[in-house]
A = this chain, B = another copy of it.
Amino acid sequence: MQKEFRITPWEVSGKIDYEKIIKEFGISKIDNKLLERIKKHTGELHLMLRRKIFFANRDLNWLLNEYEKGNKFFIYTGRGPSGPIHLGHLGTWMFTKWLQDKFNVELWFQFTDDEKFLFKNKSFDEIQRWTGENMLDVIALGFNPDKTHFLVDTKHANLIYPEAIKFAKKITLSTVKAAFGFNDSNNIGQVFYTSIQAVPAIIPSVLKRKNIPCLIPLAVDQDPHFRVARDVYPKLGFYKPSIIHGIFLPPLSGISGKMDSGGKGDERAILTTDSPEEVENKIKKYAFSGGQPSIEEHRKKGGNPDVDVSFQYLKMIFEPDDKKLKEIEEDYRSGKMLTSELKTYLIEKINVFLKEHQKRREKAKKEIKKFMFKTRDPLR
């Protein structure tokens, strides 16, 4: 059987079939019962939960059991810093911040600079530069610095590497070849890397010498890392982390694949540093439209919001008001709302957001140190 899509942490292509992913990855759908259970603690549901942008999970019920017993979890998420931040990244992190605020828990945020160096044709220095740049965007989202700890794989290697080899010892080459599609022409750093990504899920437990549950919000392409490491956690005496899986924000060009800010030209994504004019130009020029070729035809047949990238951006990030979103959806589908009107609405939303974000991003330059986790030097 031909696969219509391909999904690994380093490649997402084709039209993603999320139902198929759930089956193939062996993960569970987030159903309404689980949503209700979350709501019991959070009071409300984030739009990404209401709209099933975060659609699947591993062991989330177990995590809530522990939470209800008073066994608080921490959140672990991260960023591979190989290029500028685009709106797709921000979505996941906004949701992460919501989780942090609602459950009042610690967040460990990993910057996988080693990964990006090993997998991309970019220099170590360039990756370091992006690491610093990307931190600004994370900070700008307003994470609580007292409860948020940045880990940079190469800068926190004293903390991470000694734990990573404990995972590595229990993962064979066969396993990573099967999970990630590696072959013998892969470099030996790529092959080892997954054991580094496994580590932040146990760092708080290691530091506090007790077993603390971990929740990982991630885009579903990252799941294979934890599928591989999953069986290892209990062998090392730790809980398996719980995972909550998000779909991808589509690239401007359409709903196949994930938004990618790296390499292929900036026209594929809206960057957090884009000016209002750039945003306007990109949305108008590149955002794939579900509308009809002519106004007359659009009025008659209506547009298709399901494939319309502008509508999807509103749904995934920029229109928190469910009533308003439904109105837009219906108006667009009926032909009452034109593509140009939809795009204008989105452009305004994005630009209001980015104006504030860019201000905070500038201020964040002085705050990086506060977020960097301070390790104890094992040699002093």
Report A's interface with B, CB cutoff 8 A: 114, 117-118, 124, 153-158, 160-162, 164-166, 168-174, 176-177, 182-192, 194-195, 372-375, 377-380
Closest B residue, CB atoms, query A377 = B377
The reply to whether B168 and A188 contact each other, CB–CB distance below 8 Å, is yes
Partner of A187, one of B160, B170, B373, B380: B170
Q: B residues within 8 A CB of A183?
A: 173
The reply to whether A168 and B189 contact each other, CB–CB distance below 8 Å, is yes
Given contacts A191-B192, A195-B189, A380-B374, contact A184 B162 (CB under 8 A): no
The reply to whether B191 and A173 contact each other, CB–CB distance below 8 Å, is yes
Given contacts A161-B157, A372-B379, A374-B380, contact A168 B184 (CB under 8 A): no
Q: B residues within 8 A CB of A189?
A: 164-165, 168-169, 192, 195
Closest B residue, CB atoms, query A154 = B162
Closest B residue, CB atoms, query A373 = B379
Partner of A191, one of B117, B118, B191, B380: B191
The reply to whether B168 and A187 contact each other, CB–CB distance below 8 Å, is yes
Q: B residues within 8 A CB of A170?
A: 187
A44 to chain B, nearest CB (A): 37
Partner of A186, one of B154, B173, B375: B173
Given contacts A169-B117, A169-B118, A377-B377, contact A188 B161 (CB under 8 A): no
Closest B residue, CB atoms, query A236 = B124
Whole-angstrom CA separation of A190 from B165 in the bound complex: 9
Beyond A157-B160, A176-B188, A188-B194, 20 extra complex contacts between A and B, CB < 8 Å: A154-B161, A155-B162, A157-B157, A158-B158, A164-B189, A165-B189, A168-B187, A168-B189, A168-B190, A168-B192, A169-B187, A169-B189, A171-B187, A172-B185, A172-B186, A172-B187, A172-B188, A173-B187, A188-B192, A375-B377
